Amino acid sequence: MTAQDPITEVEDIVARARAAQQQFEAGGSQALYDRAATAAAWAIMEPSHNETLAKLAVETTGLGNVPDKITKNHRKTLGLMRDIQHVPTFGVIRDDTDTGITEIARPIGVIGAVVPSTNPGATPANNIINALKCGNAIVVSPSPKGVLTCEKLLEYIHSEFKKSSIDSDLVQMIPGRGSKEKTQRLLEISDLIVVTGSQNNVRRAYTSGTPALAVGAGNVTVIIDETADLTAAAQKIGASKTFDNATSCSSENSIVVVDAIYDAFAAEMAKAGGALITDDKRVLDTLWVKGHLNPRAIAQDADTLIEALGLTVEVSAGTQFIAVETTGIGPDHPLSGEKLSRVLAVYRAADFDDAVAITRRVQLYQGAGHSVGIHSTETTRPLALAKAIPTSRVIVNQAHTFGTGGAFNNGMPFSLSMGCGSWGGNSIDDNLHWKHFMQTTKIVREIPTREPKIEDIFKDYWMATGA
């Protein structure tokens, strides 16, 4: 027996998913969609499953740490389930007598989801839950390192499906280590593509000919101004920077500290586990090897990172992250970009206006559209920052990693994929969430005529221009 052609294999998987989705929709109800989404959520949140998935993710990818993966799997899924719990996604979801429009929720069909190795359990689970909630099937294409975790996740999901006689073909994955060819075929024949991960995959998604939701690169910059609560800011930045060894796209990569409080903040940062390094060349020469990030430093625990950077003697015991003073920004200064490690670039600004200017330069180099942050008690400054920076989010006085992708103490939707708008070459500027997995049909009825008089529209214009 000859092995199945890889492209044919992908086509067969999508065909099974499409058949399952059609049956899912034909026999659909809000209760059924909710049950399927809840089954997928419990598959990752059940404590023993969560622990197994977290351990497997770290063992097979070498990225992050087990306790934080457990926390991430739990909180991201719990938060998502809170967000969608009472959301109507089946049948009539709006009936507006004033406009005469009735809106009916409709599934998209088969979702093709490309997911990264940094979150091989949480990200596919998030996409799967959203897809099922809206009546879709989904086929996941994991990164090579994330295959085993994704396989185990789907095993758990299918086991939960059996309890409710839900077709396992609704949730599938591209088997094996994958390939660009198989992923490309998935992109081409799905009804919607959702891509989180490498910018190469993002570009392929947007040029595939299939409607795509692909998110841009993160390179978060956070301002600490002279009005900030320095102790709280340092603690939040430390907790955020070290969470899951900085695997999140929302992890702080640079901070910009106003000169008036620079030394005081450095002292608070030291208390929070941050060691300030003044020789940026020393870190550059070890964090990058032959133009690429040192694999011994990427998303590693503090001790491993410090050893990889050759800083064991220079930093104090208990150091949790490395803060590197630097001034350079742009392609010739890689510290100003995403570092995927417990390394933080530190810029010194003359004042708030200078801090905004530095932040803007960093974002225009890398990470445009994603998000920035500010620690300040001056209430007008977040708005000033929002107007000056090409960004979709300004996170205020929060641990950035926890705030950007949804939190129980802010109003952002829980997500692991942050749209970056046109600044980041994306079709959305919102957190990817359930609304993006659904489309609608509108029934439009006649209503009493509402035609305005021409003077009602143009009166002010005529007066202003003398027309």
Q: Which residues pair with 64 in a beta bridge?
A: none
- Alpha helices for 28-101 (secondary structure H): 30-45, 47-61, 66-84
Q: Please state, in angstroms and rounded to a whole number, the distance separating the CA atoms of residues 423 and 332.
A: 22
Among 134, 150, 249, 420, the active-site one is 249
- Alpha helices for 352-414 (secondary structure H): 352-365, 381-388, 400-404
Q: Could you give the angle at the alpha carbon of 411 between the alpha carbons of 405 and 415, nearest 5°? A: 25
- Alpha helices for 207-255 (secondary structure H): 230-242
Q: Please state, in angstroms and rounded to a whole number, the distance separating the CA atoms of residues 416 and 126.
A: 7
- Secondary structure class of 184 (helix, strand, coil): helix
Q: Is the dihedral of CA 245, 248, 249, 251 positive or negative?
A: negative
Q: Which one, of 26, 60, 210, lies nearest residue 144 by Cα?
A: 60
Phi then psi for residue 339, to 5 deg, are -115, -10
Which two tokens mark 337?
């970009």
Which two tokens mark 257?
């500290």
- Identity of the amino acid at 301: D
134: annotated active-site residue: no
Phi then psi for residue 331, to 5 deg, are -60, -25
Q: Please state, in angstroms and rounded to a whole number, the distance separating the CA atoms of residues 453 and 458.
A: 9
Phi then psi for residue 192, to 5 deg, are -150, 140
User: What positions carry a catalytic annotation?
Assistant: 249
